[in-house]
Amino acid sequence: MKSSVKKSRRSFRHQLAQLVGFLMLRISVYSVLFMILYFFYDLGSKGLGAISWEFLTQAPRRGMTEGGILPAIVGTFLVTLITALFAVPLGMAAAIYLNEYARAGRLTRLIRLSIRNLAGVPSIVYGLFGVILFVNLLKFGTSILSAGLTLGLLTLPWTITASEEALKSVPDSYREGALALGATKWQMIRTNVLPYSIPGMLTGAVLGLARAAGETAPIMFTGAAFYLPFLPRSLKDQFMALPYHLYIMATQHHAIDKARFLAYGTALVLIVFVVLFNLGAILMRARLRRKWRH
Amino acid sequence: MISVKKKSILGDLKESLIQKAFQTSGLLAILVLLGIFALLLYTSVPAFKEISLKEFLTSTRWDPTSPERPEYGLLSMLASTIMVTVGALLIAFPLGVAVAAYLSDVASPKVREIVKPVVELLAAIPSVVVGFIGLTLVSPLLAKIFKLSHGLTALNGSLMLAIMALPTIISISEDSLNAVPVSYVEASLALGANRWQTLVRVKIPAAISGIIASLMLGMGRAIGETMTVLMATGNARAFPHGLLQSVRTLTANIAIELGEVPYFTTHYYALFGIGLVLFLMTFAINLTADLILEKQKRKLK
């Protein structure tokens, strides 16, 4: 009798611990969600007032206290394009090597280790590397080209990893089918692996590029300019970029209070770009998954 | 017959060339990593013609533009970096592990499908925007709470860095919790433990090395983060004495000074020296995290 009371009391205590424990986890999740949504709400509500057709289609005027952000939008677009042209094919090629050709061994392990470590190198260190290699040694100067290549190196580990995931999702039977018919390795990859993995690779690439487009530290010293009255004419020109423009408007401006609402507008445009890119990639991924199920 | 053979020799050549091309792009990863290290080292060495290594690593005074005697000690900035990072992890680690545990053990699939993309969205916010939020939203709040003249402090930096580190901690911890074999959980439940006991006494201990790796990767992220701390911490150069002071981290110092320094001067080279220190710190941390994760993968297999 006594022992059963003790037992039920103990089990009650355990029940209570579970209740409290799960409640704590729930509170943690809700506070994180609330925080994220509040950030978006804050930027949205304060930035929306600055957004207008003029804001999106004109250059800054009057010492950047009026006007728009068109040069920054164009600059970010151009630099991301260079990043894509550099990092996406290279990332895909490296992933094809790792997933289709490489045998398990010391070299392969070393390559994978390097990729994972590259993903952890601070973005400002990439910026320093870009200054030495692209700006000085290769003499590209501070330019769209230098900044785009620097961001390309930064995104390389992400594009490789994403491309490899896509290659892994192609069933081995597809490969075996081609080889059984006498196809060479490259024929097999071209006809039976790439067509099914390229959409997944591109999805990963888009996510990587969205992150690259929002980076500031790597472009600060490799080509981004404080203010340019004209749009860039060649890849050797400097450029304005959305993230750097936001930094300038928020901290370096001579009349910060006057420019604050333009900074909010810039932040909102940047966030909307990044979120749209991400949503696009997520939808693409969901559609691919459905396609695979059939 | 002959033509077939010829074709296959040519074909073999083509195949091996293609393989070489792919292999080269794979090797590029090693090359870039070594290249970053080598060029940073090469560019920071000239700084030590004028600065003693001892001053660089142990002096707390950094004043390269002083007209009398330029000083190059990074200790204050190193201390600031460590302080801001530790503060960030004290917030982000418990919170991140809690979210990971919720996602892996409590949430229904439906809830998970809502929460996970939102966390991914958090990872997608550019660091300059997080810095902007710290500057405009959080720091005035802190100034009000702690009655400061401005809220651009180490605490503000820690809070914003916690946000940057959260997605890493959540996703790696959740992966490790999910990698715990179902048989562990079933055995625990069959012995009469409830779900909370199973989580705390079985799953988390089994996944602990992955959870620690998530902490380290979050740390690497926080140490290397530039824009967030640059905009949120106020960047005062003095040695940090508390979380409610304005501090300047290693990354922020590079960002502030590299734009103004003339190329190829001692000051310029010294900034690359700071970059080298950052690279080595994050490299050591990431490598350790990597080894831990590899070991766990082998163990749970």
Q: Is residue B295 part of a domain?
A: yes
Residues B30 and B142 in one domain: no
Mean pLDDT by 10 residues, chain A (294 residues): 64 87 93 91 91 83 77 93 95 93 90 93 96 94 94 94 90 91 90 88 89 92 84 86 92 79 92 87 75 57
What is the interface pTM, i.e. ipTM, of the complex?
0.92
* B43: containing domain: 2-49
The DSSP-derived string for A191-218 is IIIHHHHHHHHHHHHHHHHHHHHT--HH
pLDDT of residue A7: 66
Residues B45 and B151 in one domain: no
Q: Is residue B266 part of a domain?
A: yes
Q: Is residue A120 part of a domain?
A: yes
Residues B113 and B142 in one domain: yes
Q: Residue B194 and residue A18: Cβ atoms within 8 Å?
A: yes
Q: Is residue B54 part of a domain?
A: no
- For A173-185, what is each residue's pLDDT tens digit? 999 999 999 888 8
Tokens, residue A162: 């994403």
Distance from CA of B251 to the nearest CA of A (A): 7
Which residues in A lie closer than 8 A to residue B278 (C-beta atoms)? Answer: 122, 124-125
Q: Residue A94 and residue B132: Cβ atoms within 8 Å?
A: no
Q: Alpha carbon B269 to chain centroid distance?
A: 24
Residues B192 and B268 in one domain: yes
Q: Is residue A45 part of a domain?
A: no
Q: Say how many domains are in chain A.
A: 1
Q: Which residues contact A187 (CB under 8 A, 6 or more apart)?
A: A178
Residue A107: phi, psi to the nearest 5?
Answer: -60, -45
* A72: containing domain: 53-293
- Please check whether residue A114 touches B, CB under 8 A: yes
Q: Residue B106 and residue A22: Cβ atoms within 8 Å?
A: yes
Q: Residue A101 and residue B22: Cβ atoms within 8 Å?
A: yes
Residues B8 and B114 in one domain: no
Residues B79 and B23 in one domain: no
Distance from CA of B59 to the nearest CA of A (A): 23
Residues B93 and B39 in one domain: no
- Please check whether residue A198 touches B, CB under 8 A: no
Q: Is residue B112 part of a domain?
A: yes
Contact B151, B143 (CB under 8 A): yes
- Give the integer Cα–Cα distance in Å for B13 and A291: 37
Q: Is residue B17 part of a domain?
A: yes
The DSSP-derived string for B160-183 is HHHHHHHHHHHHHHHHHHHTS-HH
Q: How many CB pairs under 8 A join A and B?
A: 247
pLDDT of residue B12: 83
Q: Would you say the C-alpha torsion A85, A221, A218, A98 has a positive or negative sign?
A: positive
Helical packing angle, B109-124 and A256-293, nearest 10°: 140
- For A89-148, what is each residue's pLDDT tens digit? 999 999 999 999 988 889 999 999 999 999 999 999 999 999 999 999 999 999 999 999
**Domain of residue A133, CATH code:** 1.10.3720.10
Average pLDDT of chain A?
88
Q: Say how many domains are in chain B.
A: 2
Q: Is residue B56 part of a domain?
A: no
pLDDT of residue A294: 46
Q: Which of B42, B163, B255 sits opposite A217 (nearest CB)?
A: B255
Residues B136 and B112 in one domain: yes
Q: What are the start-end ranges of the H helices in B75-207?
A: 75-101, 109-124, 127-133, 139-145, 154-178, 182-190, 195-197, 204-206
From the list A26, A54, A71, the residue with the least C-alpha distance to A229 is A71
Q: What are the start-end ranges of the H helices in A119-143?
A: 123-130
Q: Is residue A28 part of a domain?
A: no
Mutate to test the interface with B, among A31, A103, A216, A277 (most CBs of B within 10 A): A216
Q: Residue A267 and residue B287: Cβ atoms within 8 Å?
A: no
pLDDT of residue B70: 87
Residues B241 and B101 in one domain: yes
Q: Is residue B287 part of a domain?
A: yes
Overall residue count recorded for chain A in this entry:
294
pLDDT of residue B285: 95
Which residues in B lie closer than 8 A to residue A90 (C-beta atoms)? Answer: 25, 28
Task: Output the furthest CA–CA distance in chain A (Å, rounded).
Answer: 90
Residues B96 and B42 in one domain: no
- pTM (predicted TM-score): 0.91
Distance from CA of A53 to the nearest CA of B (A): 22
Residues B225 and B77 in one domain: yes
Give every residue of chain B whose pLDDT is below 70, as ranges: 1-7, 301
Q: Is residue A267 part of a domain?
A: yes
Q: Which residues of A238-265 are buried (b: 16+ CB within 10 A; e: fewer)?
A: bbbbbbbbbbbbbeebeeeeebbebbbb
Residues B131 and B278 in one domain: yes
pLDDT of residue A257: 76
